Amino acid sequence: MNAPETARRLPAPDRVRDLSRRIALLEFLIAPDGPYRKHAFRTGRRPGWDLATMANGGGDDYAIAFSDTAAVIRCFDHESPMSPYANDGEHRPGTVDALPAEFADVLADPGFNGGDPLSVSALIWWRDGSDRWGTGVPGDMEDGSGWLLEGLFHPDPEMHYRDHFQVYYGRPLDEFAVVDAVLGEPTEETAALLNPDAADPADLLRRALESVGRAG
């Protein structure tokens, strides 16, 4: 899948932001002290901007920056033909050069670009006043945006991430607890079900909520 196809499938930024926060919360509840957590959500990473990130540890990642009225997504699939590393260190036409100027400072932020300005295989954005996601590429090459962002446009994100985290962490996850975390309001019981080894589920829930910028 390529950026134009992914852009057509993504929901509006408010939904993407909420789901990104909830996925980071879910993973924190599953593995609060795990060094290999993939997802994070930081409120106020830049003034007026929140930041959602995912890194799979294998060289692929994404970052999504949200303001109150706009958003920009950076995807990096290191094996994609859209990677600059497959193009003599140059961004493919329509990626970085087509990015609206108001997002330039965000793209230059090491927290957004992962400390490597070349780590871009796709950029997708939602401008202030827009009603859809945009991108600058013709969509003639696979760029990794589809599989990287699949959970954010999946019809059942709670089941998508339950399946994913069950494989990643190698243990079953309670279906109803996952639903509470992704679609509802997680409770101490949710925390205990997702992390049976937690000595204090109430403290785990508090820490998880604080990690994504919500009051515990």
Neighbouring residues of 8: CB distance < 8 A, sequence distance ≥ 6: 133
Of 216, 162, 207, 215, which is closest to residue 29 (Cα–Cα)? Answer: 207
Helices (H) and strands (E) counted in the chain, each on its own, are 9, 5
Q: Note down pLDDT in tens along the chain; length 216 residues.
A: 899 999 999 999 999 999 999 999 999 999 998 889 999 999 988 788 999 999 998 899 999 999 999 999 999 999 999 999 999 999 999 999 999 999 999 999 999 999 999 999 999 999 999 999 999 998 888 999 999 999 999 999 999 999 999 999 999 999 999 999 999 999 999 999 999 999 999 999 999 999 998 755
Residue 198 near residue 191, CB atoms below 8 Å:
yes
Tell me the pTM: 0.94
